[in-house]
Amino acid sequence: MKRKTMITLALLSALGASSAAWAVDYPLPPANSRLIGQNQYWTVQEGDRNLQAIARHFDTAAMLILEANDTIAPVQPKPGTQVLIPSQMLLPDVPREGIVVNLAELRLYYFPPGENQVQVYPLGIWPVRSGNAGDDHPRGAEDP
């Protein structure tokens, strides 16, 4: 089996195994448009622990909320603070099929075949470690 096919199958399997709660579905815009979604606003409540909890509620990244709201406290925003949730985005300028990974945006776009929608998944990137809990050595840099 070709490597590209194997990678595609692995990604599709991961998407199928993951909960749909991690993705946000958007209807596809017309072919001459790339704009999807709509920005939202949230008023911080007493029970909101931190920005990460708010981000999880909207299936987005805390980093994106921080970039859109440069005046809020990142650790624990004050109750009553109005927070912009950046939910509007441009689709990558690529054919609308299969899987598209945009590392600059930390997003994965999946265009299901035969459906007029796109599923957007947040991505996270971290260094590869040796696999031992608490081991701070990157893979390949083990002590002799």
Per-residue pLDDT, 139: 55
Q: Which residue has the tokens 């949730």?
A: 85
Which CATH superfamily includes the segment(s) 40-87?
LysM domain (3.10.350.10)
**pTM score above 0.75:** no
Longest dimension (CA), the chain: 58
Under the banding of pLDDT at 50, 70 and 90, the label for residue 1 is low
Instruction: Give me the chain's average pLDDT, please.
Output: 81
Average pLDDT over residues 90-105: 94
**Residue extents of the structural domains in the chain:** 24-31+92-124, 40-87
